[in-house]
Amino acid sequence: MSPTPRWLNAQERRAWLAYQDFSTHLSDYLNRQLRRDSGLTRYDYVLLVHLSEAPERALAMSELARLLKITRSRLTHAVTRLQDAGYVRRREDPENPRSQLAVLTDDGTRLMEQAAPRHVEAVRRTVFDVLTPEQVRQFAEIGESINAALQRVDDTGADPDALPWRRR
Average pLDDT of span 55-77: 94
pLDDT grade, residue 62 (50/70/90)?
very high
Q: What is the DSSP string of 16-33?
A: HHHHHHHHHHHHHHHHHH
Does the pLDDT of residue 161 top 90, yes or no? no
Does the pLDDT of residue 133 top 50, yes or no? yes
Spatial CB neighbours of 161, under 8 Å, sequence gap ≥ 6: none
Pick the residue with more confidence: 72 or 121? 121
- Give the integer Cα–Cα distance in Å for 104 and 89: 7
- Give the integer Cα–Cα distance in Å for 14 and 8: 9
- Give the integer Cα–Cα distance in Å for 137 and 131: 10
pLDDT grade, residue 154 (50/70/90)?
confident
Does the pLDDT of residue 108 top 90, yes or no? yes
Whole-prediction pTM: 0.82
Average pLDDT of span 4-24: 96
Does the pLDDT of residue 163 top 50, yes or no? no
Of 73, 107, 74, 72, the closest CA to residue 89 belongs to 107
Task: Decide if 16 contacts 8 (C-beta within 8 A).
Answer: yes
pLDDT grade, residue 157 (50/70/90)?
low
Average pLDDT of span 57-74: 94
